[in-house]
Amino acid sequence: MTASATLASERGRAMQTFHFTLNGAATAVEALPDDMLVDVLREVLKIKSVKTGCGPQRECGACVAYIDGTPRVTCAVRIAQVEGRKILTLEGVSDNERRLYADAFQAAAGLQCGFCTPGLVLRIKWLTDQGQTLSRADIARALDGHLCRCTGYVKIIDAVELIQAAKAGGALPAVIEDGGVGQRLKRYQGSELALGVRPFVADIDVPGMLYGALVLSPHARARVVRIDTAKALAVPGVIAVATARDVPGNRWVGQIYPDWPCFVAEGEEVRYVGDVVAAVAAETPRIAREAGRLVEVDYEVLTPVLDPLEAIKPGAPRVNPVHENLLSVTRYARGDVDAALAGSAHVVTGTWKTQRIEHLFLEPEAALAVPLPDGRLHLYSQSQGIFEDRRQVASVLGEPEANLFIELVPNGGGFGGKEDMTVQAQTAVLARLTGRAVRIVLNREESIRMHPKRHPLTMTYTVGCDVDGRLTGARIDMIGDSGAYASVGGKVLERAAGHACGPYRMPVLAIEGIAAYTNNVPCGAMRGFGANQTSFAIEGCLDMLAAKVGIDGWEMRWRNIVHVGDMFSTGQILEKSVGIEQTLLAVKGAYDSARAQGRAVGIACGIKNSGIGNGAIETGKCRLVVQTDGSIELHTGFTEMGQGLLTILTQCAVETTGLPARLFRPQVNSRFELGSGQTTGSRASLLAGPSVVDAAQKLKADLDSGLGLKDLAGRVYAGEHRIDDTTAPGETKNGKIKTHTTFGFATQVVVLNEAGVVERVIAAHDVGRALNPQQCEAQIQGAVHMGLGYALTEELPCKDGMPVTFKLREIGVLRAQHMPAVEVILVEDPEPEGPFGAKGVGEIGLVPTAGAVAGALEAFDGIRRMRLPMKESPAARAINLGRIPDADRDQWH
């Protein structure tokens, strides 16, 4: 096999021919000696099971291939280094073995988005080929070179144990091929994901496709004086360089306010280090990036606004042209707080600070725009709301939305970080400019610079209780750094304020939440948005009050949790599906016995809205389309991002129609007008589930009338579910406050070992109904992993507006060996408005975790920690990850 490199620049450097064996076949490839093996494999040889998650950091493991029989990260190997060697990728593994790995991962539910999985599979092949039976701890250590942001590794290690047993002659448990609600149905496209066969956007190639690269601002605040693209345009292989001048429509995008230019024009300010000033389209990715470095931009550097408290002072430089620096203020108040606190037996007060963190979905952002013969543009997106993408991209292009056919390629993790647009508009502009297909894929540094993060919050709490520990009142003030653009920052602070008292009865309260613009990287949606931060603070208050009252943490919470009929902080009376009591009871045995054994134990409860609520009209829409072959397309407008939505929706259809799961083919594209907004706020199952049921009931009625699927070929069954009865903060509807449709509830217990290291997490969650218990459990395990990182190690400080690191180890995401045992207890208190009683589970999993860790640490060493991450704690010090020195961060954080 001979292949010509399409990577190499033609600027005077001679390409060479390299020879090696690839998956058993003699292979010759022309490339530059310093081309990375991962790029040659992916872009020249079209081997797509190797993924690029961090290259060339060698820290995620997604790009693993065997070189001479040993797994190696191919982003750290130059093509010249493999001359004469043997390379094996998953494509070269025997069919029987591939089936074993795919089935084991399916049976164990060891994959979610699947972006990390092919790399892991090759590592696991090597591990399990050594003929030893490894313990769970050994396996975890052996997986240290791999990152998974979705699973928490628990079920990956389960899969490794299954593979070990199978290679020793045992049988795998059966993969569940069919099933309705409540069954452990296998993940839709799970085998294809495990083996790297199902493409992500960056894996899709189109004949004649160009590769795009972006030019980002190096400054947090500066005026763009001049942009000169001449040198970049002169590079052979460069087809176009786009700037603001090339945008035919409206450059300004944004989910709530159109305050974010997809290109910053000459004469305007750049407002953060992810602002785009130019985009290059070229024949190869390498040429595009090299040419991008030749775009000359003159900046007049301005002093950035980096502190949200300074930003909202009179006279502060205005960050954003569309909105003043005070982005939003949310207030909730009832009763006389001063009197309530003055009359309390005990009062605690303090300021809690949480940090900015990175989503670190394993798949960096990518988009592919392909001009169609009929003049439309086919945009492949991996975002959390393709109809929102279509609306905004059409506006940028100055074209009607009908000119865009948009298709979701289920993504490699989102967690809120793929709600805002990153590369979609620039990709579309380049495709229109050149008339050719264009694909842009961000590298890890660009990804970290561009997309919004979790808000750092400073929260001052004063909370009282009576002699028995019953809460009497709270005064809570908080401010969050929303960065340079609005994103959904105001909504995050709205949720933070609404959830500020946790799942506790608070008879009297005064809460104020402020979001402010700065020139830092924007902050927006991230799993749990706002609830995680305030949970850390309110749980700290409860622990401090419990100590004053002289009762334990469990009892303190038991005396204060909400029940049906109680009022939530927003004024909403909770009318149904309030399972917090059952979750507390579920952990009591573990909590008491660990304490009796002398262990340091922490406990925290959590609440998280399911559905956006707060007055938003929300819809879920579905179309079931019967095909001539008897299969049924299941169309939804929400995004599959590893959470298992498409599997769950299939189960809803199976449950309703009685048809087998294999008949349903879920899809997300703009063939139908199913726009439902972003996949956010733990709402996709809540809204899409009933819409599938609605459509499926219509199909079932036809089937029950005696018609078969062949008779129904071509029929389209429409389903819709609408929520329009929630109220905005401070408003009522029909005399009632209902800020949210429903809530998830949880109690988590954290147990430390003798050294103060987290040994065990017990997570009891009220999920309403577990539509797929295995996936539900997996979601919570993955969320606990994220919550432990949030508590102990994860941070992304900025200095002068620039993240101080892009290294995955320094960002602090936990590896498999850092994970304690995680025991999930599913509680089902049915939600009448949810599908089959279910409510969202995507976010609540990490809401209580940091609070429980802080409580356990205080039980261990007597120190009440009020700042995240708790990196100086014994639990964090035991984790061998990189560390960011204090000197490398701005003071506010």
Query: φ, ψ for residue 276 (rounded to 5)?
Result: -95, 130
Q: Which residues contact 185 (CB under 8 A, 6 or more apart)?
A: 176, 177, 178, 179, 647, 650, 651, 654, 661, 772
Least distance CB 505 / ligand FES (angstroms): 38
Least distance CB 412 / ligand FES (angstroms): 6
Least distance CB 72 / ligand FES (angstroms): 9
Residue nearer to ligand FES on the CB measure, 63 or 531: 63
Least distance CB 41 / ligand FES (angstroms): 11
| Angstrom distance (rounded) from CA 742 to CA 721 | 15
Residue nearer to ligand FES on the CB measure, 413 or 666: 413
Least distance CB 788 / ligand FES (angstroms): 16
Least distance CB 114 / ligand FES (angstroms): 5
Unique residue bearing structure tokens 């991008």: 292
Unique residue bearing structure tokens 């620049």: 9
Residue nearer to ligand FES on the CB measure, 61 or 855: 61
Q: How many helices (DSSP H) and strands (DSSP E) are in the chain?
A: 23, 33
Residue nearer to ligand FES on the CB measure, 60 or 295: 60
Residue nearer to ligand FES on the CB measure, 75 or 397: 75
Environment class of 873 (CB within 10 Å of its CB; exposed 0-12, middle 13-18, buried 19+): buried
Residue nearer to ligand FES on the CB measure, 323 or 454: 454
Percentage helix, strand, coil for the chain under 3-state DSSP, each rounded to 5: 30, 25, 45
Residue nearer to ligand FES on the CB measure, 190 or 571: 190
DSSP sequence for 744-804 = EEEEEEEEE-TTS-EEEEEEEEE-SS-SSHHHHHHHHHHHHHHHHHHHHT----EETTEES
Least distance CB 324 / ligand FES (angstroms): 39
Taking CA atoms, 890 is separated from 55, 221, 305, 526, 604, in Å, by 28, 16, 11, 22, 30
| Angstrom distance (rounded) from CA 21 to CA 65 | 13
How remote is the C-alpha of 47 from its chain's centroid?
Answer: 26
Residue nearer to ligand FES on the CB measure, 146 or 495: 146
How remote is the C-alpha of 733 from its chain's centroid?
Answer: 33
Least distance CB 151 / ligand FES (angstroms): 5
Residue nearer to ligand FES on the CB measure, 796 or 875: 796
Residue nearer to ligand FES on the CB measure, 508 or 824: 824
The 3-state secondary structure of 681-704, one letter per residue: CCCHHHHHHHHHHHHHHHHHHHHH
Residue nearer to ligand FES on the CB measure, 57 or 667: 57
Q: Among 358, 830, 838, which residue's Cα sits nearest to residue 644?
A: 838
The token duo for 267 is 């004469």
Q: Are 30 and 3 in contact (CB under 8 A)?
A: yes
DSSP 733: B
Least distance CB 59 / ligand FES (angstroms): 6
Residue nearer to ligand FES on the CB measure, 175 or 511: 175
Residue nearer to ligand FES on the CB measure, 110 or 837: 110
| Angstrom distance (rounded) from CA 441 to CA 205 | 12
Query: φ, ψ for residue 560 (rounded to 5)?
Result: -125, -10
Q: Are 221 and 801 in contact (CB under 8 A)?
A: yes
Taking CA atoms, 489 is separated from 13, 329, 452, 570, 797, in Å, by 47, 11, 9, 19, 18
Query: φ, ψ for residue 434 (rounded to 5)?
Result: -100, -20
Residue nearer to ligand FES on the CB measure, 727 or 781: 781
Least distance CB 842 / ligand FES (angstroms): 13
Least distance CB 56 / ligand FES (angstroms): 7
Least distance CB 153 / ligand FES (angstroms): 9
Residue nearer to ligand FES on the CB measure, 449 or 557: 449
Q: Among 343, 239, 253, which residue's Cα sits nearest to residue 291?
A: 239
Q: Which amino acid is at 481?
A: D
| Angstrom distance (rounded) from CA 742 to CA 222 | 45
| Angstrom distance (rounded) from CA 537 to CA 502 | 9
Taking CA atoms, 716 is separated from 390, 632, 633, 698, 713, in Å, by 23, 10, 9, 10, 9
| Coil/strand/helix, residue 434 | helix
| Coil/strand/helix, residue 431 | helix
Least distance CB 200 / ligand FES (angstroms): 11
Which DSSP helix (H) or strand (E) runs through 287? helix 285-292
DSSP 420: S
Least distance CB 58 / ligand FES (angstroms): 5
Least distance CB 340 / ligand FES (angstroms): 46
Residue nearer to ligand FES on the CB measure, 651 or 779: 779
Q: How many CB atoms lie within 10 A of CB 832?
A: 10
Catalog residues that contact ligand FES under the rule CB under 6 A.
Answer: 52-55, 57-63, 73, 75, 111-117, 148-151, 362, 413, 642
Least distance CB 527 / ligand FES (angstroms): 13
Residue nearer to ligand FES on the CB measure, 60 or 474: 60
Residue nearer to ligand FES on the CB measure, 117 or 519: 117
Least distance CB 606 / ligand FES (angstroms): 23
Least distance CB 73 / ligand FES (angstroms): 4
Q: Among 263, 297, 295, 269, which residue's Cα sits nearest to residue 282?
A: 295
Q: How many CB atoms lie within 10 A of CB 378?
A: 18
